[in-house]
Structure 1
Amino acid sequence: MTDRRLAVAAWEALFRAQHEMFARISDDFEGAQLTQAEYDVMLTVARAPEMTARLRDVTANMLISQPSVSRLVDRMVSSGILSKCADPDDGRGSLVTATDQGASAFRAMAAAHARTIAEHMSALDDDELATLKTLSDKLRSSLGDDGDLETGETDTTHAD
């Protein structure tokens, strides 16, 4: 059995580090073309083939409720960042696709955001970063998370 005190201490350290890091990298979105929530949507869309993702996949990757994601996506469609159409494989679902404007805004934001993340993560060396990723993936996998644990280079943070 796992040492409970150590497990709690490790969780608290992980949670606090994530929370503090998230606060620091959130500054990237002040005055940016995309809000942090829009960036999160675009991250899922940009990683999908042909920059088109099922709305349910976008929702699954977000940390907000399905109705909130739907409203956010609708605002992004209205602002020209995404287009939306019925999913031909699922009559109840929708597909969202990055527009040229959205893809351009995402690429610019992703580059800047990745620099900020790398800067803050530079407290760890490459071996430590690889270990952190492996351990984080293992934790997520143990929870039954069906997210993409094999993603290579990340353009985000936020992430989870």
Structure 2
Amino acid sequence: MATTDEPRWLNPAEKEAWTGLVSLVLLLPGRLEAPLQHEAGLTLFEYLALSHVSEAPDRRLRMSELAFLANGSLSRLSNVVKKFEQRGWVERSPDPDDGRYTLVALTDAGFDVVEAAAPTHLRTVRQVLDPLTAADQQALARIAAKLRVRPADLA
């Protein structure tokens, strides 16, 4: 007697896709983070946070948007931003358009940190992307967009 709670086992193509995705998820963060840690003293999450703010208009972003872009929770980001504030890399302030939100702004010192770490990060990113064709890169971007969940307050 079959029930709807029975698992839908993966077929060979699905298993291959899933195994590949899990491998990427597990292996890439360490591969991207190790050079940053060694050469810039930053975790991948810290670099991504600084980098995203550096690319934002006026080098300012809402904390909730930054958490999404850097793939972290607001609480994790808050701890990192506190450390950045202590180092003089960012400043926080209420969002003048909506006081329920907090803005994080990159200082010149913070921009210098991103600028110094960027070549290290870019070398590693190139090792990942360069073997892919343009079609592969487009497919990867399309798949990532389908799998990414955007919080309701950012939609």
Picking from 17, 22, 40, the partner of 1:15 is: 22
Tell me the equivalent position of 1:151: none
Q: Is the 8 A contact 1:82 1:98 kept in 2?
A: yes
TM-score, length-normalised on structure 1? 0.75
Highest CA radius of gyration, 1 or 2?
A: 2
1: CA distance, partners of 2:142 / 2:130: 17
Tell me the equivalent position of 1:157: none
Q: How does 1:3-42 map to 2 (within 5 A)?
A: 4-5=10-11, 6-31=13-38, 32-42=40-50
Q: Which has the higher helix share?
A: 2
1: CA distance, partners of 2:23 / 2:103: 36
CA RMSD of aligned residues (A): 2.6
Q: Does 1:123 align with 2:131?
A: yes
Report the alpha carbon displacement of residue 120 of structure 1 after superposing the two structures with TM: 3.0
Pick 1 or 2: higher relative contact order, CA cutoff 8 A, min separation 6: 1
Structure 1 segments, 4+ long, off by >6 Å, are: none
SS of 2:77's equivalent in the other structure is: helix
Tell me the equivalent position of 1:48: 56
- Number of aligned residues: 144
2: CA distance, partners of 1:22 / 1:71: 20
Picking from 102, 106, 116, the partner of 2:114 is: 106
Report the alpha carbon displacement of residue 47 of structure 1 after superposing the two structures with TM: 2.5
Q: Aligned AA for 2:122?
A: A
Q: Is the 8 A contact 1:34 1:105 kept in 2?
A: no
TM-score, length-normalised on structure 2? 0.77
Unaligned runs of 5+ in 1: 149-160
Report the alpha carbon displacement of residue 59 of structure 1 after superposing the two structures with TM: 2.2
Q: Calculate percent identity across the aligned residue pairs.
A: 27
2: CA distance, partners of 1:134 / 1:82: 32
